[in-house]
Chain A
Amino acid sequence: MSAGGAEAKEAPKYTKKDFESDQDVRWCPGCGDYAILSAVQKTMPDLGIPKEDIVFISGIGCSSRFPYYMNTYGFHTIHGRAPAVATGLRLARPDLKVFIVTGDGDGLSIGGNHMLHVLRRNVNVTILLFNNRIYGLTKGQYSPTSELGKVTKSTPLGSADRPVNPLAFALGCGATFVARTVDRNIAHMEEMLRRAAHHKGAAFVEILQNCNVYNDLAWNVMYDKEQKLQYELRLEPGKPLLFGPQDDRRAVIMDGVRPKVVKAKDVAASALWVHDETNVNAAKLLADLFAPDFPVPIGVLAAVTGPVYEEIMLDQEQKAISERGPGDIAKLLTSGDTWRIS
C-alpha cells in the first residue's frame, strides 16, 4: 500500500464514456453543473488511474449529487461533512484517489470548519467547490459567497452579511494548491482539473458555476463576451499579469505593497508582476482581486509542496511496525503488572 497516491497500477485506456454512470442526471436544464460533470468525465482518462481506484465524496446540495453520475466509487454523505469523510477514507485507504465535490453552502457554511481542517492538514484530496453564490437545492436562499445586500427569499431586504472569498479562505487555511476556473470555460476547466488532480496534498478548486434557476448570471463578468474580454486575467506561471483587449492591454503591478491596475504600455517590462505559483504571499493578494476595480484572476494561484497528513500518520505506523513488529494482543494483555492466582 503506497501512501502517495494511486499511480501504482496501470490504468486501461479510458474514454469519457467509461466515467458516465447509468443514472439519469437530475439537475435543472441549463445548470452549470452539467458542464462541470462533462469536463470531469473528460479529464478522468488523463489521470492514468484505474477507475476502481477513484472515489468521489460529496456533501449535500445540487452540486453534491455529483458522485451519482460518475462511474467510479462514490459516497453522497451529509451536509458539509465530505472533507471529514474523505480524511477518514484517505487514512484507511491511501491507495485511493479521492475527490471531494461541494458547494458554497456545503463547503463554506455548514462545512466551513471541516474545509479549514482538510486544507490545513493537507490531506491528499482534490476538492471541487461549485460556487454559484446561492443555496440551489433549498431553492434559493443566499449563501456565504452571496454579495452583501443580496435579495433572496430569506433576505427580502437584502443580506446583511459580507461574503467570504473562497480562494482567500483556502489560502488562509494553508492550502497547498488553490485555483479558480469557470463552468463556461471548458478548456480552462479541464486544464485546472488535471492540474489539481495531479497535486500532492489538498488541492482546492473554486469553480464559478451558474445556477440559472436561482442566481442566473451571477458570474456574468466571466460569461458576457465584452466583460470577459475586459476582466479575465489568465494566471500562467512565468507570465506577467496582463489582461484586457489587445488595443487596451492593462497590467496588475505592485505599487508599494498594494496591487494596482495600470496601462500595460506605461510599465517597464522589469516592473511587471510575473506570476509565480510557488509564491503564496502573492497568491493571497491575487485572491482578493475582483471586478470592477481589478481583473478576475483564473488559473492556479498557488501550488506548493507541503507535508501530507496521512503520509505522516502512516509513516509513523510503518516505523512502529518495522521497529517493534506488528501488534500482538496476547502479548499486550500480559504486559506490565500482572499476577497469577492458582
Chain B
Amino acid sequence: MSETAAPAKGKSLKELDRAVVRFAGDSGDGMQLTGEQFTTESAWAGNDIATLPNFPAEIRAPAGTLFGVSSFQLQFGSQRVYTPGDRLDCLVAMNPAALKVHLRDLKPGGLLVVNTAAFDKRNLDKAGYAANPLEESTLAERYRLHKVDMTALTYEAIKDLPLGAKEKDRTKNFFALGLVSWIYTRPLEPTLEWITKKFAKNASIAEANTRVLKAGHAYGETAEIFAEHYTIEPAEMAPGLYRAMTGNRALAWGILAAAQRSKIPVVYGAYPITPASDILHELALHKRFRVRTIQAEDEIAAVTAAIGAAFGGAIGVTGSSGPGIALKGEAIGLAVTAELPLVIFDIQRGGPSTGLPTKTEQADLMQALYGRNSESPVVVLAPATPGDCFYIAYEAVRVATKYMVPVMVLSDGFLANGSEPWLIPDPETLPPIEIGFRTESAGFFPYLRDPATLARPWVRPGTPGLEHRIGGIEKQDVTGNISYDPENHDHMVRTRAEKVRRVAQEIPPTTINGPATGDLLVVGWGGTYGAITAAVERAQTEGRTVASIHLRYMNPLPPDLGQILREYRRVLVPEINSGQLVRVLRAEYLVDAVGFNRMRGLPLASEEILEAINQLVGSPT
C-alpha cells in the first residue's frame, strides 16, 4: 500500500491504493442507503468497487439488539478490486450493538468512528456491554478511535427546521456519510443530487439531509481530531460508460435484453423469497419489453406458469432461492421431458430449510445438477460477478431456446445484492437469439430433432396443421406418441442427456488466470470469483506458479477442462459449501482435487484462500 502525504487545508492528505469501509448500525439507521450513496460517490471518483450489503432477516428487528444490526461494506481502489475486502480499514459504528458485532473485523490501527450519543445505558445493555467500551482505554490503544456525538451535531445543524424529533434523528446517517466522504475525499455531488430527486416533494426533509451531509463533511474538515484524510486515485479501468450494477438487476436486465433481441414476450413466474424477490420487482417495472410477471400462489405455480408460457411460444422464466427451487423440481422435470425452453434462477442462500435467508451460500450446485427425480439433466450456468449476471441471463435464454432445454442459473445472495462498476455493453454485440418456430406441416413430428443440437421443433399453438400433444409421459422419439417401450426409454434418457452435453459447443475456451501449467490450479465458480482471483494474484506476485479458472458453465462442463486440470500438480476448489464442485471434478476427471470449504453465510475471504494455497504449495520462504 503506497502512502504519499499531500497537504490540504492544514490537514495532510494521504494517497491510498484501496480502502475497505463498513457502515454498521441499527436496521433503522439507514446503513444500506448510506453505503449505497458512498458507493456512488466512489464510482464518481473513478475507483473500482465491490460491495457487500449485510442485513438481518427480520424486517423490523428490535432497535439496539445484536441481531438487529445492519451493515454495508465496500472496498474501493485505484486498481482492480475483486472483493468487498476481508479486513476493515474503517468501521463506522452507529450504536453499541454495531460495535460489538463488527469490531473484530477492523484491522489493528484501523479507523473507528462511533456515534457516542447511542452509547447510553439501554443500548449498552442490549449489546451486552457491562461497561461503556468508549470509556475504556483498550479501544483507543488498538484503533484510531473517533468519538463523535453525531446525534447532537445533527440536531444542531437542523434545529430551526420544522421537523419532528424522529425525522431529525433519521438524518444522522447523512452526518456519518458526510464525515466519511470527507475522510476519503469523495465528491458529495451525487448524494446531493440524489437528495434533491428523492425528496423533491418534501423540501424540509431535503434541506435537512443536505445540511446534515454538509455538516458531517465540515466536521471532518474542522474538527481537531481528524489530522489526516485520504485520496484514492481513479482506477485504470477499461474506457467506456459505467454504471453500478447489482446481480439481481443484471439478471432482470439480461432477460429484458433477450426479450428485445428474440422479439418474443417473456413470462416471469415467481413467488416472493429472499434474496430473489428483487428480480420480480425489477421485471415488473419493465412492461414495455413485453415482460409479463406473475406473482404466483407458490413456487410450483410460478414454474408451471413459465412452462405454460413456453408451450405457448414465449420465453418462460422463473426465479427463486433454494427452498423454492426444491418445490419446482417436479415441474423442471416436466420441462426436461417436454423439451421446452425454460430459464430458472436460483439465488442461493444459506440452508437447509429456511436456513439463513439473507446470507449467501453456494450449496445448491448438487440440487441444480441432480435435485430431481430420475434422469433429468438441465444446463447449469453460474455468473462470476454481479455484472456477469446480465450476460449469464441472456445466455440462459439463448441456450434454452436453441436447445429446447431448461437452463438453471446459480446466482447467490452475495452476487444478488452486491454491486460493482459495470462497463455498459452495446447490446448489439450480444450474440443473436434466433427463434425459429416451426410452421411447415409437411414432415412434421413433435420430436423430430435438429441434427446439430438435437432440439425438437418449437411450435406455437395457433399454427394450422401442426396440432400436437406433449406431456410428461415417456414418448417415442420423433413421433412424440406415448411409449412404454424399454428400448425407447433407454434411448430417450440418453438423448436428453446428449442434448445437454451438446451445449458444450457453445462454451468458449477457458480463460486461465496465470501460467498454463504449474504447481496449483484453483478452480472456482459463482460469487467467489473476486476472492479467488485476488488470492491467486497475490500468490503469483509472491512468486508461485499458481493459476485459477472460474467456471461459468457448470453443466455441461467446458470441453477443455479435463486437459487443463492435468497441467497442474495440485487442484484446489474453494466453495461456500461442504465440497460440491470438488466432488463433481473428482468424479468426472479422476483428479485428486481438494476443497477449501467455509459455510458461514459470508463470502470467502481472499486471505483464507491464500492461506489454503500456501498450505498446498508451501509458503514463500
Contact = CB atoms under 8 A, between A and B. Distances in A.
Contacts of B241: 334, 338-340
Contacts of A73: 461, 467-469
Interface in B299-356: 300-302, 304-314, 316, 330-331, 334, 338
A65 B466 CA distance: 20
A257 interface: no
B427 A333 contact: yes
Contact of B425 (A60, A86, A333): A333
Nearest to A326: B288
A55 interface: yes
B467 A324 contact: no
B469 A96 contact: no
Interface string A132-175: 00000000000000000000000000000000000000000000
B240 A75 contact: no
Interface in A287-342: 313-314, 316-317, 320-321, 324-330, 332-334, 336-342
Nearest to B261: A329
B301 A81 contact: yes
A341 B467 contact: no
B482 to A, nearest CB: 7
Contact of B287 (A317, A329, A337): A317
B244 interface: yes
Nearest to A321: B288
Interface stretch (B98-106, B147-155, B251-259, B405-413): B251-259
A68 interface: yes
Nearest to A314: B292
Interface stretch (B39-47, B108-116, B532-540): B39-47
Given A81-B304, A341-B238, A88 B316 contact: yes
Nearest to B257: A329
A52 to B, nearest CB: 4
A324 B288 contact: yes
A51 B469 CA distance: 13
Nearest to A333: B424
B481 interface: yes
B242 A91 contact: no
Given A329-B260, A337-B243, A85 B311 contact: yes
A55 to B, nearest CB: 5
B392 interface: no
Nearest to A81: B304
Contacts of B438: none
Given A75-B311, A114-B297, A327-B260, A337 B244 contact: yes
Among A71, A74, A317, A329, chain B packs the most CB atoms within 10 A around the CB of A329
Interface in A52-96: 52-53, 55, 57, 60, 67-68, 70-78, 81, 83-93, 95-96
Interface string B271-315: 000000000000000111111101011101110111111111110
A50 interface: yes
Contact of A77 (B257, B304, B309): B304
A257 B534 CA distance: 77
B162 interface: no
B303 to A, nearest CB: 8
B243 A338 contact: yes
A92 B292 contact: yes
A220 interface: no
B190 A337 contact: yes
A88 B305 contact: yes
A84 B311 CA distance: 13
Nearest to A117: B297
A338 B269 CA distance: 30
Interface string A217-235: 0000000000000000000
A44 interface: no
A245 B361 CA distance: 71
Interface string B487-511: 0000000000000000000000000
B237 interface: yes
Contacts of A324: 288
A5 B440 CA distance: 25
A185 interface: no
A78 B308 CA distance: 12
Interface stretch (B118-126, B470-478, B560-568): B470-478
Given A52-B467, A53-B462, A88-B309, A78 B257 contact: no
Given A78-B330, A317-B290, A320-B288, A332 B461 contact: no
A92 B309 contact: yes
A78 to B, nearest CB: 5
B239 interface: yes
Interface of B is mostly: mixed
Nearest to B316: A88
B472 A78 contact: yes
B240 A341 contact: yes
B234 interface: yes
A116 interface: yes
Contacts of B302: 84
Contacts of A51: 467
B462 A332 contact: no
Contacts of A329: 253, 256-257, 260, 289, 427
A55 B468 CA distance: 10
Among B234, B267, B425, B428, chain A packs the most CB atoms within 10 A around the CB of B267
Nearest to B334: A78
A84 B467 contact: no
A92 B298 contact: no
B373 to A, nearest CB: 11
A56 to B, nearest CB: 8
B620 interface: no
A78 B304 contact: yes
Given A114-B301, A317-B287, A317-B290, A23 B481 contact: yes
A21 interface: yes
A327 B288 contact: yes
B88 to A, nearest CB: 26
Contacts of B428: 330
Nearest to A87: B305
A321 B237 CA distance: 37
Contacts of A2: none
Interface in A82-138: 83-93, 95-96, 113-114, 116-117
B481 A93 contact: no
Given A52-B463, A74-B469, A113 B298 contact: yes
A100 to B, nearest CB: 11
Contacts of A340: 239-242
Given A88-B316, A329-B253, 5 more contacts: A52-B462, A53-B461, A75-B471, A317-B292, A327-B289
17 contacts: A21-B469, A53-B462, A55-B311, A73-B468, A73-B469, A75-B338, A78-B472, A87-B308, A91-B309, A92-B292, A313-B292, A326-B288, A326-B290, A327-B290, A337-B244, A340-B239, A341-B240
